[in-house]
Amino acid sequence: MEQPRPASGQPRLTPDSVWRNRDQFISGRDEIVRFLTAKWERELDYVLRKSLWGFRENRIAVRFQYECHDATGQWWRSYGNELWEFDDQGLMRRREASINDVAIASSDRRWFGPRPEGERGPGHDIPLE
């Protein structure tokens, strides 16, 4: 599940949603939208792969990798885990993300564009390294 970009409509967040992203603590839908807008301006040509780790009741755990480059052209691969909690209407009320970044050469990229249909569903996990 990816958060919609602010331009695509109202994010599916509770008004008082709380997030931890790396070392940042963000509270409230408006502050989260500002955070996401700045992130997407900074992380260029962003390509994401997520895999479901587990779920129960109103909580989901995922692991992910994404690649992007910054304004200088340096490419990055980010490895992470996210924990999500939802309210009774399906709005995200809590997100905790632990993320590590590794500088990579453009030639070391793994991900290009949306995940193809043939790489979706069970049995198509993302590599650990």
Grouped pLDDT means (10 residues each) for the chain, 129 residues: 49 94 95 93 93 95 95 97 97 97 96 76 67
Query: What is the rounded distance in angstroms from the CA atom of residue 71 to the CA atom of residue 51?
Result: 28
> Does residue 4 form part of some domain?
no
Closest CA relative to residue 32, chosen from 58, 14, 46: 14
Report the number of distinct structural domains present in the chain: 1
Task: Give the pLDDT of residue 116.
Answer: 75
> Does residue 46 form part of some domain?
yes
pLDDT in tens, 81-93: 999 999 999 999 9
What is the CATH classification number for the domain harbouring 41?
3.10.450.50
> Does residue 126 form part of some domain?
no
Query: What is the rounded distance in angstroms from the CA atom of residue 102 to the CA atom of residue 66?
Result: 11
Supply the range of the domain harboring residue 92: 12-113
> Does residue 127 form part of some domain?
no
> Does residue 123 form part of some domain?
no
> Does residue 3 form part of some domain?
no
